[in-house]
């Protein structure tokens, strides 16, 4: 994975080498950061590269857009993911077994498959002001099918996982922390991190805040 993206095609997911041991992966599929086939293909490619690099120790996953981490699955393109979504399940299995630490840095909405992606990571930190999590599938008459049933209860316990899945409600960072869904809710967490890295370029629809 290169230090900076130079490809002329849209970078729906960008991998950045901060140091030999520390890498960051950023979702950038405006305006909603939907989980599209292009996002999946690029994410799988980046994770494969990270897995092959013995120097990688920590990988942080975040979003270029302050209101959306991964809003949800692009339901209009479900057929393009293949029966049973084999790439997705291979991807989250690889992340779950990775020798490096995986960190979710959450600002904005992570619902449905966005929440399930975070569940596959080792640790999750969320902005108290901006983070929203949810398993919204019940509104479509289905249940979480991309890992929510298998992983959520391990963090929150059975009763709270049932509440989350059956309600389809949104949960802010403070409640998600109380439930064990995330490790910690922190005020201005991502703003401090971006400022420390000299970030905040709004050219791709992001925000300096």
For the stretch 42-93, pLDDT in tens is 999 999 999 999 999 999 999 999 999 999 888 789 889 999 899 999 999 9
Residue with tokens 């991807």: 91
Looking at the predicted structure, is the pLDDT value of residue 6 above 80?
no
- Residue 201 has a pLDDT of 42
Distance, in Å, from the CA atom of 140 to the CA atom of 154, rounded to the nearest integer, reads: 24
Distance, in Å, from the CA atom of 64 to the CA atom of 205, rounded to the nearest integer, reads: 8
Q: Note whether 130 and 109 are within 8 A (CB).
A: no
Distance, in Å, from the CA atom of 64 to the CA atom of 201, rounded to the nearest integer, reads: 9
Q: What is the 3-state secondary structure (H, E, C) of 117-186?
A: HHHCCCEEEEECCCCEEECCHHHHCCCCCCCHHHHHHHHHCHHHHHHHHHHCCEEEHHHHHHHCCCCEEE
Distance, in Å, from the CA atom of 14 to the CA atom of 26, rounded to the nearest integer, reads: 5
Distance, in Å, from the CA atom of 117 to the CA atom of 39, rounded to the nearest integer, reads: 13
Distance, in Å, from the CA atom of 61 to the CA atom of 15, rounded to the nearest integer, reads: 9
Name the DSSP letter for residue 76: G
Q: Note whether 17 and 3 are within 8 A (CB).
A: yes
Residue with tokens 């779950």: 96
Write out the two tokens for 155: 């963090």
Q: Compute the mean pLDDT over every residue in the chain, rounded to the nearest whole number.
A: 87
Residue with tokens 């080792």: 122
Distance, in Å, from the CA atom of 148 to the CA atom of 64, rounded to the nearest integer, reads: 24
Please indicate whether residue 153 or residue 197 has the higher confidence score (pLDDT).
153
Instruction: Count how many Cα atoms sit within 13 Å of the Cα of residue 159 in the half-sphere of its side chain.
Output: 1
**Structural domains of the chain sorted by starting position, each given as residue range(s) with its CATH number in brackets:** 13-196 (3.90.226.10)
pLDDT in tens, 164-188: 999 999 999 999 999 999 999 999 7
């Amino acid at each position: 994975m290169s230090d900076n993206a130079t490809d002329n095609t849209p970078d729906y997911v960008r991998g950045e080498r901060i140091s030999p041991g520390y890498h960051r992966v950023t979702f950038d599929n405006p305006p909603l950061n939907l989980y599209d086939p292009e996002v999946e293909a690029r994410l799988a490619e980046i994770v494969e590269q990270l897995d092959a690099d013995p120097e990688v120790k920590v990988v942080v996953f975040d979003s270029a857009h302050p209101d959306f981490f991964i809003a949800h699955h692009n339901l209009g393109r479900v057929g393009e993911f293949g029966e049973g979504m084999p790439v997705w399940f291979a991807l989250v299995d690889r992340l779950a077994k990775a020798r490096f630490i995986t960190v979710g840095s959450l600002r904005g909405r992570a619902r449905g498959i966005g929440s399930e992606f975070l569940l596959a990571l080792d640790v999750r930190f969320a902005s108290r002001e901006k983070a929203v999590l949810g398993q919204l599938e019940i509104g479509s008459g289905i249940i979480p099918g991309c890992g929510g049933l298998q992983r959520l209860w391990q963090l929150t316990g059975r009763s709270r996982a049932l509440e989350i899945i059956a309600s389809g409600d949104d949960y802010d960072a403070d409640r998600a922390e109380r439930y064990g869904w995330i490790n910690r809710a922190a005020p201005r967490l991502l703003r401090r991190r971006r400022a420390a890295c000299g970030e905040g370029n709004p050219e791709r629809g992001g925000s300096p805040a």
